[in-house]
A and B are shown apart, each in its own frame.
Chain A
């Protein structure tokens, strides 16, 4: 008996050691690009010190803050781009969350004529690729004066306008809140709106945070549409549009380290925010995955 348990223990130990090795290996692969990004951002782009483009070594020969200094030196609109993105992300988060909550509540709790038709119609709409409508949207926004110099409100408008179609996860959450609670409140004389604002919303903190978090992260990656609407108007770029130039065309002029520095400054606050709210994200994603 004793021999058996000790052999099992040994077996488990071996398999655990193997697992740890695997995990460490995975961690290295997953962290490598981020470490590389941070290290590259500390390389100087000053030709007298070091080359600022792509290099084939990881650790810079001289550590310097040149790239970061460049971002705040006023030579580019970096601060402006950053501000633009924050403004876009803020308003998109605010409005999109409200829209999604409204739509999800209406579709989860109310039964009205054309409800399933509406849901099916939106499902079909979602199968069209988003970029298909780009030129038409550009024109619509141009008519309203919301391109180029006005690209920021234009981008917010477009992102928010169709956000009602992303109600799935939120509706799935509302569906799990017992209807009996609603009924009880309505028997006591509360209107639908009252139930929604004073009961459903306070009970839905996790899903609100999830919706807001997803909405907040998206504008930081929005390259395609943002670049199309801004149309070369430097002051209305967001960080993604502005900084991809430093990689794709500016690389050979030594802009690569500046991209890394800018990227690090973008990534740090977003990553911290995400890590803080990770619990809610996991909850939302898992719930959404199971219900589809």
Chain B
């Protein structure tokens, strides 16, 4: 989190980018002009320079990557890349009972993007290769010796250890997170849904149609449903975060209180909710509140109510119930964090407050709370964004129900944006709107994070409590 704030405030990032780019192009030019034949040949064959200068390992690495990328782009990616503008025109159809295979929009989009990424990677590796040649020439010109293959290899575990450590994680994140996200962002601009499933039906680019649909308030428009779900998502995140926060601190203070014994026992009891897998506890708790469940049954047997309380069937009831059950989940977590932090508050602060005749509430207001807010500011932010996307609690408790006729896309009264997204993907295969909702979730999370981050006391005033 800390690094997001240290952004460059004086120069604009765009200006920076072009400055670096210009500098780069100039350096590529000088390298070519001043370079020898080995360097110049490296402009065509990556790694030629290092290989010719005896660094087979490094040069071979450049060459291998170039070869693989070129092979991938021309041997595999090109047909997809060339159709990326239309996402395919020929549908798979039947001709005289024989299936004629046509294009597949899904594949074209996915592999086209992959090929595009390969092109970017090729340019990058080429650039690094050019810079490496420049470096080698400068070293030789200075009369020094180039590191040998053995030293190159050893540097992977020393000065270049970061590359060894990060290579696999970065590739993994690229393939399984970055690429799918780019893909889905693209899907938001296509008409990929239940009626356009490749390969029998193709989908294509539709511009901002889906976004217009999201904000249209007509009969089939997503506008009113989106607003309802968005409002509930924000309300939910607010209550889920702050109720758990303050009640968690309260419980921690209760257990920490002087003279209370069996502190460990009380904590252990609360921690049970973290320890037991949520799918067991939440599914059970969800059933507790069902119309034929234990709570309704007991209340009815005692004659307190005549009909079952609509815990899950009335939207308002369901929302309140979910927030309450979430307190049950959230308090122990907050209690654990608060317990450690409360002990860090110097006891003499309270002592002097007590001498001044402060009531416990005043002490909480002016000592405990400011300290806690200061220390746990970033944590509150991550809790809030986490709650915006809290799939498990909502889905395991009541699947976002009750469904409502007034809402499109199968949305229910307690659906968050993420559970709605999930339903649209699974039940309606309405991928295009799901992608749009996904982008909206991202926007909401990003905006909340940015705004709150600027307001955090620990960011504004780093020295505050030290």
Measured CB to CB, the residues of A under 8 A from B are: 12, 16, 19-20, 22-23, 26-27, 29-31, 33-34, 36-37, 40, 54-58, 99, 102-103, 105-106, 110, 112, 116, 118-120, 122-125, 127-137, 139-140, 157-158, 160-165, 168, 191-194, 196, 217, 220-221, 223-224, 228, 239-240, 243-244, 247-248, 251, 256, 259-260, 263-264, 266-267, 270-271, 274-275, 278, 281-282, 285-286, 288-292
Interface majority SS (helix, strand, loop, mixed), chain B: helix
Q: In whole angstroms, how far apart are the Cα atoms of A274 and B267 in the complex?
A: 13
B426 and A228 contact, CB distance less than 8 A: yes
Say whether B48 faces chain A, with CB atoms less than 8 Å apart: no
A162 and B173 contact, CB distance less than 8 A: yes
Chain A hits for B206, CB < 8 A: none
Q: In whole angstroms, how far apart are the Cα atoms of A13 and B233 in the complex?
A: 44
A127 and B442 contact, CB distance less than 8 A: yes
A266 and B277 contact, CB distance less than 8 A: yes
Interface residues on B, range: 35 or more
A26 and B392 contact, CB distance less than 8 A: no
B4 and A33 contact, CB distance less than 8 A: no
Q: In whole angstroms, how far apart are the Cα atoms of A134 and B434 in the complex?
A: 11
Chain A hits for B339, CB < 8 A: 282
Chain B hits for A19, CB < 8 A: 254, 257, 260
How near does chain B come to A162, taking the closest CB pair, in angstroms? Answer: 5
Closest to B183 in A: A136
A34 and B281 contact, CB distance less than 8 A: yes
Closest to A24 in B: B266
Q: In whole angstroms, how far apart are the Cα atoms of A289 and B399 in the complex?
A: 29
Q: In whole angstroms, how far apart are the Cα atoms of A285 and B158 in the complex?
A: 32
A123 and B4 contact, CB distance less than 8 A: yes
* A-contacting residues, B97-145, CB 8 Å: 106, 110
Q: In whole angstroms, how far apart are the Cα atoms of A21 and B385 in the complex?
A: 35
Return the CB mask of B157-186 against A: 1 if under 8 Å, else 0: 111011111101110110111111101100
Number of A-B contacts (CB under 8 A): 274
Closest to A119 in B: B3
Closest to A264 in B: B280
Q: Which of B279, B339, B441 has the most CB of A within 10 A?
A: B279
Q: Which of A134, A135, A194, A217 has the most CB of B within 10 A?
A: A135
Q: In whole angstroms, how far apart are the Cα atoms of A120 and B266 in the complex?
A: 40
Chain B hits for A228, CB < 8 A: 426
Q: Can you list 26 A-B contacts with CB-CB less than 8 angstroms, sorted by A residue number?
A: A16-B259, A23-B260, A30-B273, A34-B272, A34-B281, A36-B294, A37-B284, A40-B284, A54-B293, A103-B169, A112-B162, A112-B163, A120-B4, A122-B173, A131-B422, A132-B438, A162-B173, A164-B166, A217-B277, A224-B391, A224-B422, A247-B283, A275-B271, A275-B275, A285-B336, A292-B2
Say whether B21 faces chain A, with CB atoms less than 8 Å apart: no
Say whether B446 faces chain A, with CB atoms less than 8 Å apart: yes
Say whether B313 faces chain A, with CB atoms less than 8 Å apart: no
Q: In whole angstroms, how far apart are the Cα atoms of A291 and B456 in the complex?
A: 13
Chain A hits for B184, CB < 8 A: 132-133, 135-136
A23 and B255 contact, CB distance less than 8 A: yes
Knowing that A23-B260, A274-B275, A281-B274 touch, tell me 10 more A-B residue pairs with CB under 8 angstroms: A30-B273, A54-B293, A99-B169, A129-B438, A130-B389, A157-B176, A221-B279, A221-B392, A243-B279, A278-B268
B158 and A137 contact, CB distance less than 8 A: no
* A-contacting residues, B366-406, CB 8 Å: 375-379, 381-382, 385, 389, 391-392, 395-396, 399
How near does chain B come to A5, taking the closest CB pair, in angstroms? Answer: 15
Return the CB mask of B292-310 against A: 1 if under 8 Å, else 0: 1110111011000000000
Contacts A133-B181, A165-B173, A165-B177 known; A270 to B276 CB distance under 8 Å?
yes
Return the CB mask of B319-352 against A: 1 if under 8 Å, else 0: 0000000001000110011011100000000000
Say whether B51 faces chain A, with CB atoms less than 8 Å apart: no
